[in-house]
Structure formats: structure tokens, C-alpha cells
Amino acid sequence: MRIVFLILLTANIVLLGYGQGFFGPPPSEAGRTVQVVMDQRNEQAVIPGDPQ
């Protein structure tokens, strides 16, 4: 019974590490790239000046 507990505990720790990205990019970040977001900024749309 103790060995089953240790196997389940180890499996949970490994799956937690996988989900958090300890073994590479986490699955929740699949398809996301920082460069795409940086290219979408429109710096000309912001006009600094005095608020009215």
C-alpha cells in the first residue's frame, strides 16, 4: 500500500512540474509568442500632452 502511495505522489509531482513548465514551455503557453504581441503595439496612437 505504501508503494502505491509513493507512485501516485511521484506522478502528481511530475505532472505538476510539467504543467508549470519545469520541463519546457508549459502547455498553456502553446502557440503564444512574445514577438507577435510586441509587433501589435501602435505607438503612433498614443499622443502625449496635457489632459483636458
Q: Indicate the pTM of the whole model.
A: 0.52
User: What digits encode the pLDDT tens for the residues 21-37?
Assistant: 888 877 777 666 666 65
pLDDT of residue 22: 84
- Decide if 13 contacts 20 (C-beta within 8 A): no
b/e 16-31 (16+ beta carbons within 10 angstroms → b): eeeeeeeeeeeeeeee
More confident residue, 11 or 25: 11
CA distance 16 to 22: 9
